[in-house]
A = this chain, B = another copy of it.
């Protein structure tokens, strides 16, 4: 099993980052404008849609200002059963975000793509909090011919 790991430091409060990971308005501001569902309660399901498909995430753990854990329950075969884990730690002016997309069965080319793509979306989240404007799909940064 192999993981995608990332880290960004966001000038903003952990509460603001947490809100952008749990509320559909925040999520629609940095990941995809087509976001729906309930990300604010454990057991809730969020649906994220893109031009080429999408992901359904069940909220598995929430610790306000500290952690958000999703399980992928629908989407591309490689994603189903994987977990997306967000760990937040406010330190001075920054909130450090440690990101883990865990449980990939094989390091397929699609995983390489998703790793780079997650980085661009984390930069979009950072921009949303710091400037009020993210780069959510369909206005996302394109990284390759699959985009």
If over half of A's interface residues share one DSSP class (helix, strand or loop), that class is named, otherwise mixed; here it is mixed
* In the complex, A36 has a CB within 8 A of chain B: no
Contact (Cβ within 8 A) B94 A112: no
Q: A145 — which chain B residues lie within 8 A by C-beta?
A: 9, 91-92, 94, 96
* In the complex, A78 has a CB within 8 A of chain B: no
Q: Give CA–CA (A123, B141) in the complex, Å.
A: 10
Chain B residue at minimal CB-CB distance from A108:
B5
Q: A96 — which chain B residues lie within 8 A by C-beta?
A: 144-145
Q: A9 — which chain B residues lie within 8 A by C-beta?
A: 143-147
> What's the number of copies of this chain in the assembled complex?
2
Of the candidate stretches A27-35, A38-46, A57-65, A113-121, the one touching chain B is A113-121
Question: Known: A116-B122, A119-B120. Contact between A143 and B8, CB under 8 A?
Answer: yes
Q: Give CA–CA (A91, B146) in the complex, Å.
A: 12
* In the complex, A138 has a CB within 8 A of chain B: no
Give 12 A-B contacts (CB < 8 Å), ordered by A residue: A7-B143, A7-B144, A8-B143, A9-B145, A9-B146, A9-B147, A94-B144, A96-B144, A99-B112, A123-B141, A123-B143, A126-B143
